[in-house]
Amino acid sequence: MRYLSRFFFWIIALMLSFSVNTIAQDSSQAIAIYKQAPKKQVVTFLLPLYLDSAFDAAGAYRFGKQFPRYFLPGLEFYEGVQLAIDSLNKEKVELDVHIIDTRSRRKIAEILQDPAVQEASLLVGHITNNEIRPVADFANKKQVPFINVNIPNDGGVTNNPYMVILNSTLSTHAEGIYKYLDKNRGQSPVIVFTRNGTQEDRLKGYLTDVEKSNPKAGLKLKYVTLPASFKAENLLPYFDSTKTTFAVAGSLDVQFARKLASELAILNKTYPMQVMGMPTWDGIRDFENDEYKDLPILYTIPFNPIRTDSLSSSIINYFKDKLFARPSDMVFRGYEVMYRFGKMIAEQAPNVALGLGEKKHQVFTDFDIQPVLLNKQQQQLDYFENKKVYVVRLLNGMVTTVN
């Protein structure tokens, strides 16, 4: 709680610094946070900062000692961007960087008319599903790369070689899960425990597509649809005490995840198993509880979770010593996006779109940005996507990557 309360004070101080910069004008305007000569490449971030709702007309903070949690992702991402700008500045990489608060009084159509957006050589968005299409259409029209850092779907965008999805889509996770299981299961049976639902049908469709596209693979998935109020005895017939079984969760729902893992933890005392979850399992802190002791849990995520490198350590120490806080994953994501794509745009503009797939200037995550063709018969490039997914192993509170 000591770190948490001080973290709140740090966030409020950060937001107050914004209000000082914008007190003479509406806070919906772009904030230039690192500006060089006008001819330098323009990088514009669209972030949910909620400044207009956080401060009143006099610049006073509205929430007293409270702090809405929905403020955190955008602000933490922003802090990572700031740290990366410091690093780029030391390397004499000259850019003109702007931040626009997408939770201001302006609608997205108005924001796209902002000079900082109109003049951008690179757009980076921490956005909502409804904002994907208009920003992507704008980027396509202007022929500037648009990096979608948080939404793991395409928002219906097609025929757009300027959109990049960093947070890998569910179909990419399905491919990563299937290939990991095929490579690592040995002679173990693989059972997909699922439930009735549209989302579950879509996931099964993705897994089936991967299976069909890998005819030489020996893995054939078996699906078991569980009743709404299932128990360990519903799972028991699919396990053998003489061999390890891979139990796959065929749903993204976190309540289903907790229930399935809880019942499997009971069986794991007698029946050896490994549990393969979904990318949504990354946020389930319950799995560190004693209830799940000795249960090997695997799941996929698109960003490297390991923080043992020297740069990660320096960021962690900076937060500890200066801000009395722990940096979240959004801080690291903000840093690596600003640093990697900032370096690329400085070196390759105006042709940076041609080099999006290059493995240059990687920081924490080994991004594998590949073109996506939704209809391979038409050979139409619909967008780019990060195809790298990490398989994470969680066991007794320890997190490791296994691929």
Query: pLDDT in tens for each of the 403 residues of the chain?
Result: 333 444 444 554 454 444 333 322 344 456 655 554 446 899 999 999 988 888 877 778 788 777 788 888 999 999 999 999 999 999 999 999 999 999 998 999 999 999 999 999 999 999 999 999 999 999 999 999 999 999 999 999 999 999 999 999 999 999 999 999 999 998 899 999 999 999 999 999 999 999 999 888 889 999 999 999 999 999 999 999 999 999 999 999 999 999 999 999 999 999 999 999 999 999 898 999 999 999 999 999 999 999 999 999 999 999 999 888 899 999 999 999 999 999 999 988 777 776 778 888 999 999 999 999 988 778 899 999 999 999 999 999 899 999 8
Cα 69 to Cα 8, 19, 50, 66, 337, distances in angstroms: 10, 19, 11, 9, 23
Q: Same domain, yes or no, for 144 and 10?
A: yes
Question: Is 282 contained in some domain?
Answer: yes
How far apart, in whole angstroms, are the C-alpha atoms of residue 155 and residue 166?
A: 14
- Token couple for 293: 């002791």
Shared domain check, 220 and 151? no
Domain annotation covers residue 403: no
**From start to end of 226-341, where are the E strands?**
245-249, 273-276, 297-301
CA angle 367, 368, 373 (to 5 degrees): 135
Q: Are residues 27 and 98 in the same domain?
A: yes
Q: Which domain holds residue 254?
A: 170-301
Burial track 367-400 (b if 16+ CB lie within 10 A, e otherwise)? bebeebeeeeeeeeebbbbbbbbbbbebbeeeee
Q: Is residue 59 part of a domain?
A: yes
> What residue type is 203 in one-letter code?
L
pLDDT at residue number 11 = 52
Residue 402 lies inside a defined structural domain of this protein: no
Instruction: Look at the chain and report how many structural domains it folds into.
Output: 2
At residue 273, φ and ψ (nearest 5 deg) are -155, 165
Closest by Cα among 14, 73, 77, 10 to 335: 77
Residue 284 shares a structural domain with residue 174: yes
- Among residues 277, 301, 325, which one ends one of the domains? 301
Instruction: Give domain status of residue 154, yes or no.
Output: yes
The CATH number of whichever domain residue 106 belongs to comes to 3.40.50.2300
pLDDT at residue 39 in the model: 67
Residue 99 sits in the same domain as residue 34 = yes
Round to whole Å and give the CA distance between 198 and 316: 41
89 in the same domain as 188? no
Q: Are residues 257 and 338 in the same domain?
A: no
**Residues 6+ away with beta carbon under 8 Å from 389:** 168, 172, 173, 176, 279, 300, 301, 302
Same domain, 88 and 174: no
Same domain, 55 and 19: yes
Q: Are residues 112 and 203 in the same domain?
A: no
Residue 240 within any structural domain of the chain: yes
- Domain boundary (301, 317, 347) is at 301
When computed from its CA atoms, the radius of gyration of the chain, rounded to whole angstroms, is: 23
| Token duo for residue 175 | 């491919």
Confirm whether 399 is domain-assigned. no
Q: Are residues 63 and 9 in the same domain?
A: yes
Residue 27 lies in a domain: yes
| Domain end marker among 275, 301, 327 | 301
Q: Is there a single domain that holds both residue 34 and residue 9?
A: yes
